[in-house]
Amino acid sequence: MGRLTDKRIWITGASGGLGERLAYSCVAEGAHVFLSARREDRLQEVKNTITARGGRCDVIPFDVRHAEEAENVRRLIGHVDVLINNAGFGIFETAADSSLDDMKSMFEVNVFGLIACTKACLPVMLHAKSGHIINIASQAGKLATPKSSLYSATKHAVLGYSNALRLELAGTGVAVTTVNPGPIKTDFFTIADKEGSYVKSVGRWMLDADRVAERITSVILTDKREINLPGWMSLGTKLYQLFPSFTEKLAGRVLKKK
**Identity (one letter) of the amino acid at 8?**
R
DSSP β-bridge partners for residue 42: none
Helix (H) / strand (E) containing 115: helix 114-128
Which of 151, 161, 198, 240 does the annotation list as catalytic? 151
- How far apart are alpha carbons 173 and 80 in whole angstroms? 14
Residues 6 or more apart in contact with residue 201 via CB below 8 angstroms:
257, 258
How far from 174 is each of 69, 80, 87, 159, CA to CA, in Å? 23, 12, 21, 17
Count of other CB atoms within 10 angstroms of residue 211: 13
DSSP β-bridge partners for residue 207: 184
Task: Give yes or no: 161 in active site.
Answer: no
Kindly list the catalytic residues.
Answer: 151
